[in-house]
């Protein structure tokens, strides 16, 4: 019989709260995480707002020296992992750490450190580049730090697939548990790319909203007047555990992770395939993989970036997969509140999906004001909705044409 995978721990750092409790309260309150950029002087940038993490204080978890040796993305990862491990109630001195691993992805990695050290290279010369530059910057280092910190000696690496990164990490981790390589996996994603190069690059790509006169309403997924995504930052990490391993230690189980669908569009580096073909294929794979009926799905935490193309195409894909049931289930984009956390999106959005399943409440899509004829599903506009949530799907799609969908359900 196939080994089952459950979620026993969760941790987040987000633009609307730096713990799972704060995050969930903010999601249900429809809190807006978007603000004028404070992390650098953005006065020369086309977009001058973002969804920044507020009041982040890593000092309860990291020493000043550790903080200096970790890029912001890595600090988010370790901080969120710490919450997730505490939440799981795992006693790391009693479990077999050879069978516990970590897969932590980041879409971009330590770009803030890259920028700073590149400036040092240009102004003060190559001999002044920090000996920590490489280990500040490389994307896999968050998984490395977490393994060292907690003694996790099982599988350890990073995934990189732009905005699908965290979902690939979590899906891979679940499969390693299913295949018997590990019993416990700490997994998810983190991102910190709100910096001059990050914003300039996404601006040049014409991906970001430029609603500078009204940032609070800039992230408006599925609304007719959406004009691009809002760059966010943070980390979302879960503890996955083999079901019997969790049951034997009397763990509190949040939900079961039972479906994974990974595909590619094979179409264009940034534009989604017409009709969302790759996304359709990913959701269909997930349904088959989970052994569920499409009608069992009550909630889709959409990729819903608030770009004109994504939201239209994702809507088409959901309708193709679910037919009439597409109008029965709830869809929402929590990016309306958090902005787009890129490689961390799949992490915090899986946490939101788990909480929806656990509490039978669907978090809303805020800033939904004018319906778009191309987007005609129930997007849970502006207010959370109570309803039974048996299965929730978290969709993530990344530049490069990567699609990753993950399903979570109530534990049976």
Partner 1 sequence: MSLEEKIKDIIVERLGVAPEKVVPDAHFIEDLGADSLDTVELVMAFEEEFDVEIPDEDAQNITTVKSAVEYLGKKMQNSDN
Active-site residues: which are they? 163, 303, 340
Residue number with CB closer to partner 1 (47 or 135): 135
- Residues β-bridged to residue 300: 331, 393
Q: Which of 43, 57, 59, 64 binds partner 1 (CB under 8 A)?
A: 64
Stretch that binds partner 1, among 63-71, 149-157, 299-307, 335-343 (CB under 8 A): 63-71
63 near partner 1 (CB under 8 A): yes
Spatial neighbors of 78 by CB under 8 A, at least 6 apart, are 58, 61, 62, 70, 142, 145, 146, 149
Q: What is the DSSP-derived secondary structure letter of residue 59?
A: T
User: Minimum CB separation from partner 1 for residue 140, in Å?
Assistant: 17
131 near partner 1 (CB under 8 A): yes
127 near partner 1 (CB under 8 A): yes
Stretch that binds partner 1, among 125-133, 166-174, 260-268, 271-279 (CB under 8 A): 125-133
Q: Which of 40, 56, 132, 157 binds partner 1 (CB under 8 A)?
A: 132
User: Minimum CB separation from partner 1 for residue 124, in Å?
Assistant: 8
128 near partner 1 (CB under 8 A): yes
User: Minimum CB separation from partner 1 for residue 65, in Å?
Assistant: 4
Three-class DSSP category at 125: coil
Q: With CB under 8 A as the rule, give the number of residues binding partner 1.
A: 11
Cα–Cα nearest to 63, from 78, 73, 53, 52: 78
User: Minimum CB separation from partner 1 for residue 104, in Å?
Assistant: 22
Cα separations (Å) of 338 from 27, 53, 404? Answer: 9, 9, 20
Residue number with CB closer to partner 1 (44 or 131): 131
Q: What is the β-pairing status of strands 297-301 and 391-398?
A: parallel
Spatial neighbors of 338 by CB under 8 A, at least 6 apart, are 14, 15, 16, 33, 51, 232, 234, 348
Stretch that binds partner 1, among 6-14, 79-87, 129-137, 386-394 (CB under 8 A): 129-137
- Residues β-bridged to residue 361: 386
- How does 191-227 read in b/e, with b if 16+ C-beta sit within 10 Å? bbbbbbebbeebbeeebbbebeeebebbbbbbbeebe
Task: Return the ∠ at Cα 342 (arms to 340 and 344), rounded to 5°.
Answer: 100
Q: Which of 130, 203, 320, 385 binds partner 1 (CB under 8 A)?
A: 130
User: Minimum CB separation from partner 1 for residue 19, in Å?
Assistant: 27
Task: Give the interface with partner 1 as residue ranges (CB under 8 A).
Answer: 63-65, 68, 124, 127-128, 130-132, 135
């Amino acid at each position: 019989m196939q080994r089952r995978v459950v979620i026993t721990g969760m941790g987040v750092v987000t633009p609307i709260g730096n713990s799972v409790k704060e995050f969930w309260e903010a999601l249900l309150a429809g809190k807006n995480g978007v603000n004028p950029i404070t992390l650098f002087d953005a006065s020369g940038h086309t977009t001058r707002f973002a969804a920044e993490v507020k009041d982040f204080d890593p000092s309860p978890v990291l020493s000043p020296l550790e903080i200096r040796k970790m890029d912001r993305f890595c600090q988010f990862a370790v901080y969120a992992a710490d919450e997730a491990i505490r939440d799981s109630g795992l006693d790391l001195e009693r479990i077999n750490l050879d069978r516990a691993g970590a897969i932590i992805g980041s879409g971009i990695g330590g770009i803030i450190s890259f920028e700073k050290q590149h400036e040092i290279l240009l102004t003060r010369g190559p001999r002044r580049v920090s000996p920590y530059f490489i280990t500040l910057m490389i994307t896999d280092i968050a998984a490395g730090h977490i393994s060292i910190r907690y003694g996790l000696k099982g599988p350890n690496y990073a995934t990189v697939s732009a905005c699908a990164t965290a979902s690939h990490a979590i899906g891979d981790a679940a499969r390693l548990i299913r295949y018997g390589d590990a019993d416990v996996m700490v997994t998810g994603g983190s991102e910190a790319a709100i910096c001059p190069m990050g914003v300039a690059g996404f601006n040049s790509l014409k991906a970001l909203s430029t609603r500078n006169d009204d940032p609070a309403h800039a992230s408006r997924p599925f609304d007719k007047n959406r004009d691009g995504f809002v760059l966010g930052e943070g980390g979302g990490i879960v503890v996955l555990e083999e079901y019997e391993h969790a049951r034997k230690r009397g763990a509190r189980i949040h939900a079961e992770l039972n479906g994974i669908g990974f595909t590619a569009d094979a179409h264009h580096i940034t534009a989604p395939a017409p009709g969302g073909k790759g996304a359709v294929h990913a959701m269909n794979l997930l349904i088959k993989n989970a052994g569920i009926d499409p009608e069992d799905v009550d909630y889709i935490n959409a990729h819903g970036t608030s770009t004109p193309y994504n939201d239209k195409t994702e809507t088409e894909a959901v309708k193709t997969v679910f037919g009439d049931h597409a109008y029965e289930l709830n869809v929402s984009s929590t990016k309306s509140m958090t902005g787009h956390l890129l490689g961390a999106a799949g992490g915090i959005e899986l946490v939101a999906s788990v909480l929806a399943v656990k509490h039978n409440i669907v978090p809303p899509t805020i800033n939904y004001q004018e319906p778009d004829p191309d987007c005609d599903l129930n997007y849970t506009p502006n207010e959370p909705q109570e309803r039974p949530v048996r299965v929730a799907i978290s969709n993530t799609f990344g530049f490069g044409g990567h699609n990753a969908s993950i399903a979570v359900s109530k534990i049976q």
